Amino acid sequence: MKNKIVSMSILLLMMSLLYACANTSSLPRTHPEDVGKAGMPDCTACHTDSWGAMNHRAPDFMAKHSNYAGSSRQVCSSCHQESFCADCHSHKEEIKPSDKFTDSPERNLPHRGDYLSQHKIDGRINPVSCVKCHGRQNNARCASCHR
Amino acid sequence: MKSNYTKKSCQAFGAGVAVLASALLWTTPLIAGDYSFSGESNTILRMRTTINDKNLFPAYEYLRLNASDNRSDGTGLSFYLGAWGRGDLGDKSTSSSTDGDLQYAYLTYRAPKNNTAVSIGRQFISEGVATERIDGLYLRNDFLYGIGASAFVGHSVITEPNFPGGSIVYGARISQTDKKYYTVGLSALKSEYENSSRYREEEGLDLWIRPHQKVDLTGRSTYNSLTNGWMENNYALSYAPLSTLRFGADFSHINFKDYLASVTTSALSLINPVWKANEKQTAVGTSVAYSGFKNLNVTADYRFYSYDQSGDASYFGGKASYSFPENLTVGAGLHRMDGDTDRLRYVEFRAFASKKIGHADLTIDATNLNYDRNINGIRACYTFTGAAGYELNRKLKLGADMEYSKNPDFDNEVRGLLKATYTFDTTFAAEGGTKSEK
C-alpha cells in the first residue's frame, strides 16, 4: 500500500511537472481562415507539417479520416461542428446520410442509391465496415429483418 | 430486447445535461460578454409507398444548437446539442408512429494552454481504439515533449440490441507527437456488463508517420484481450511525388472471431451464417490519382480481398470528377467487382452533376449495377436521383428530391423528399471563420 501511494505521488508529480512545463498554446477554436468556401479544402496549400496530410481532396482522405480523427480530433474541431460528425456517425438514425445530402453528390457518403440490395454485397465483402456504425448501435433497421 | 437504459435513463440524463448547460450558458454572457449562439433546423418530409402498399409520410425535425462563450484568450465554455424527432403523417413507418433521439448534448471547456479540454454529457469519443458514443466525461491534455493524454468514462449508448451490451465503458490514450514527422498512440478501452462481468477489453497502437512531406502512413492495430487475438491491423500509405500525382497503397487483416465478438446486432454477430466464425480477411489495395488538369481529378484503384475460408474477390476501376467551386461539379466512375458468388460479380457505373444557378441548385445522380447473372430475375439495377434547392435568403433554404430505383428487391420504387433548412447565428465566431455544419 505504501509503495502504491509513493508510486502514485511520483506519477502525479511528474504529470504536474510535464503539464506546467509544456505551456503550449491550444489550437484555435475556429480555423483562422474560412477554408470551406471553395469546396473541399487542400490543407497542403498552407500546411507543410503533418496537418498538410489532412488534404480533403486526396482520394484516400475518406479512408484515412478515422485515423486522423482518432489521433488528433481537436484539429478536426477547428473547422467542424459536432453536427458534422453526427450526420454519419449517429447511434440512432432513420435517414441515410446520402438522402440528407443529395445536393452534394461529390461527397463520399455511405449507402448511396439502392442500399437494400447493396448491403448484401458490402456485408459479405467486409462486415467489419458495418460494425463501426451498426455493431452496437444504430441497428433498428438491421433488427427489422435480422432477428 | 430493448435497453431500458437507452430509452429512459439515458434521455433523462441528456435532458438534465441540456437544462444544466442551458442555464449555465444563459448566465455566462453576463460575465463573459463575448458570446455566440448558432444552430440549424432541418424539417424533412419523406414520401414512399411500401411493397405492402402502405403510404409512408414520416416528417422529421433535426435540431442543432451551439452556444459558445468566446473569450479573447481562447478559453471557452461551449454547449452543443443535436436531436431529432419523427411523426408519421401517413401509415406507420416503423413499429411506432413517433420516435426521436438525443444525438449529442454536452458541455465542454477548452483552456488556452496545452489543448486542455473537459467535456461532460452525451458525446462522440474518437481516441485510438475507441470510437464510441457515451453519456459521460472526457478529458484531454498535452504535456511536455509532445506527450498527450486523454481519458473517458461513461455509459455506452447502445440502441435496439439483439444481445445485451455493456454498461460502463472507460478508456484512455497516450500519445507522443512530433508535429512535423509523426504521432504514435497507445490506447485501451474496457467495458463491463451491469453485473460487472467483462464485456469488451481492447488495446491498440495507432500510427501517423510523415517521414517526408510527400509520404504519409496511417494505421492502427487493435487487440482483443477477451478473445486473445488481433481484431485488425489496418495501414494505409500514400506517396505524392508531385502535387498533381498521388499513389496510395493499403493493407488490412481482420480476424472475424475477435472483431465481431462483442457486437449486439445479430446481423453482424458470429451466428450469422453469411460468414464463417473463424474467417480471416486480408485486403490489399492500391490507387493512383492525377489532378494535372485544372479542377479535374482522375483516379484508378484496385483492391483484392482474400479470405481463409470463402472465395476471393477483386474490385477495380476508375473515376473522374471536375469541380468548379460554388458553380459546377460533375463526375463519373466505373468499377468491376469480380467475386465467387453471383452477387459479387457485377459492373457498377455512376455519374453525377450538380450545378448552382443564382440562388438555385440542381443535382442529378445515376447509378447502374449490372450483375453477370440474374438476381431475383433482375440483372440491371438502376437508381436515378434528382434534387433541386432554392436559397430564399441567407438563413432559409428549401429543397426537393425524387428518387427512382429498380433492383432485385424493388421493381419500380419511387421516393420523394421535401426539406426546409433554417440556420441562425447571433454572432460570427470571434476568432475567424464560422464552423461548418455540413
Q: Which of B268, B321, B342, B354 to mutate to test the interface with A (most CBs of A within 10 A)?
A: B268
User: Given an 8 Å threshold on Cβ–Cβ distance, is A139 in contact with B387?
Assistant: no
Is any Cβ of chain B less than 8 angstroms from the Cβ of A138? Answer: yes
Instruction: Identify the pLDDT of residue B16.
Output: 60
Structural domain boundaries in chain A: 95-147
Q: Which of A11, A139, A141 to mutate to test the interface with B (most CBs of B within 10 A)?
A: A139
Is any Cβ of chain B less than 8 angstroms from the Cβ of A95? Answer: yes
A36 pLDDT above the threshold of 80 = no
A5 pLDDT above the threshold of 60 = yes
The complex scores an ipTM of 0.86
Local confidence pLDDT in tens for the 438 residues of chain B: 344 454 555 555 555 655 555 555 555 444 445 678 889 999 999 999 887 788 999 999 999 999 888 666 666 889 999 999 999 998 988 888 999 999 999 999 988 888 899 999 999 999 999 988 999 999 999 988 889 999 999 998 876 677 888 889 999 999 999 888 999 999 999 999 888 889 999 999 999 999 888 899 999 999 999 999 999 999 999 999 998 899 999 999 999 999 999 888 888 888 877 777 788 999 999 999 998 787 889 999 999 999 888 889 999 999 999 987 678 899 999 999 998 888 889 999 999 999 999 999 999 999 999 999 888 888 899 999 999 999 999 899 999 999 999 888 777 889 999 999 999 877 544 333 345 444
List phi, psi (to 5°) of B31: -95, -45
Query: Residue A41 and residue B160: Cα distance in Å, rounded?
Result: 37
Which runs of E-coded beta strand occur in B339-377? Answer: 345-357, 360-375
Chains A and B form CB pairs within 8 A to the count of: 358
Q: B34: helix, coil or strand?
A: coil
Is any Cβ of chain B less than 8 angstroms from the Cβ of A101? Answer: yes
User: Given an 8 Å threshold on Cβ–Cβ distance, is A60 in contact with B248?
Assistant: yes
Chain B contact set for A136 (CB, 8 A): 156, 158, 161, 165, 262-265
| Chain B closest-CA separation from residue A128 CA (Å) | 7
Q: Say if CB B339 and CB B313 are below 8 A apart.
A: yes
User: Given an 8 Å threshold on Cβ–Cβ distance, is A70 in contact with B128?
Assistant: yes
Contacts of A135 (CB under 8 A, 6+ apart): B260, B262, B263, B264, B265, B268
Once rounded to an integer, what is the mean pLDDT over residues A37-47?
A: 79
Q: Which residue among A19, A91, A137 sits closest to B114, beta carbon to beta carbon?
A: A19
A37 pLDDT above the threshold of 50 = yes
Chain A contact set for B423 (CB, 8 A): none
Query: Residue B139 and residue B109: Cα distance in Å, rounded?
Result: 10
User: Given an 8 Å threshold on Cβ–Cβ distance, is A128 in contact with B117?
Assistant: no
A14 pLDDT above the threshold of 60 = yes
Chain B contact set for A108 (CB, 8 A): none
Q: Which of A19, A48, A79, A83 to mutate to test the interface with B (most CBs of B within 10 A)?
A: A83
C-alpha cell of residue B130: 475507441
Q: Which tens digit of pLDDT belongs to each residue from A51-94?
A: 888 888 888 888 889 888 888 888 888 888 888 888 888 888 89
Q: Which of B2, B97, B144, B304 to mutate to test the interface with A (most CBs of A within 10 A)?
A: B144
Q: Which of A81, A120, A134 to mutate to test the interface with B (most CBs of B within 10 A)?
A: A81
| Chain B closest-CA separation from residue A6 CA (Å) | 22
Chain B contact set for A31 (CB, 8 A): 432-433
Chain B contact set for A128 (CB, 8 A): 232, 254, 256, 259-260, 281
Chain A contact set for B219 (CB, 8 A): 67
List phi, psi (to 5°) of A82: -55, -35
What is the four-CA torsion angle of B88, B92, B93, B99, rounded to 10 degrees? 60
User: Given an 8 Å threshold on Cβ–Cβ distance, is B437 in contact with A33?
Assistant: no
User: Given an 8 Å threshold on Cβ–Cβ distance, is A136 in contact with B299?
Assistant: no
Query: Residue A132 and residue A130: Cα distance in Å, rounded?
Result: 6
Residue of B nearest to A27 (CA): B115
| Chain B closest-CA separation from residue A22 CA (Å) | 4
Angstrom CA distances, A62 to A40, A59, B236, B435, stand at 12, 7, 12, 20
Q: Which residue among B113, B160, B315 sits closest to A143, beta carbon to beta carbon?
A: B160
Is any Cβ of chain B less than 8 angstroms from the Cβ of A12? Answer: no
Query: Residue B280 and residue B257: Cα distance in Å, rounded?
Result: 8
Q: Which residue among B76, B144, B246 sits closest to A29, beta carbon to beta carbon?
A: B76
Chain B contact set for A81 (CB, 8 A): 64, 66, 80, 435-437
Which residues are B354's β-sheet partners? B329, B363
**Burial readout B256-271 (b: 16 or more C-beta within 10 A, e: otherwise):** bbbbbbbbbbbbbbbe
Among residues B335, B339, B337, which one has the least CA distance to residue B349?
B335
